[in-house]
């Protein structure tokens, strides 16, 4: 169990994810996508949310809780075998309330 911030879980890996989607069989899908990738590389390894949204759009900076699907700045990563589930503070608090009600 560990905390993963939006910065490390999403923002820092956007350029790589974008390339994985837009670059295949040794070339870019089009010139616009290549230019956007070059802008992503130019902003560095720790881009801000605003920098990415300026180049791409809001969907690339979303960091959604697997339980409530709301956007969060940090999520707790829980492991179920090889699968990782990421949960927000509100959902963890709700889970704890449920558990406390059940076990006194």
Least distance (Å) from Zn ion to the CB of residue 78?
12
Specify the residue, 56 or 76, whose C-beta has the smaller distance to Zn ion.
76
Alpha carbons 104 and 44: distance in angstroms, whole number: 50
Whether 87 contacts 74, CB under 8 Å: no
Give least dist CB 68 to Zn ion, A: 3
Q: Closer CB to Zn ion, residue 43 or residue 76?
A: 76
* Contact positions vs Zn ion (CB under 5 A): 65, 67-68, 88, 91
How far apart CA 94 and CA 59 sit, in angstroms, is 27
Tokens 């990421």, located at residue: 86
Looking at the Cβ atoms of 14 and 88, the one nearer to Zn ion is 88
């Amino acid at each position: 169990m560990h905390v993963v911030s939006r910065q490390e879980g999403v923002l820092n890996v956007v350029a790589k994810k974008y390339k994985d989607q837009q670059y295949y069989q040794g070339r870019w899908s089009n010139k616009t996508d290549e230019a956007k990738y070059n802008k992503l590389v130019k902003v560095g390894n720790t881009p801000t949310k605003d920098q990415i949204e300026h180049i791409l759009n809001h969907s690339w900076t979303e960091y959604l809780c697997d339980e409530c699907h709301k956007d969060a700045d940090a999520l707790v990563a829980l492991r179920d075998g090889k699968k990782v589930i990421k949960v927000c503070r509100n959902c963890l608090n709700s889970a704890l309330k449920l558990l406390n009600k059940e076990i006194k």
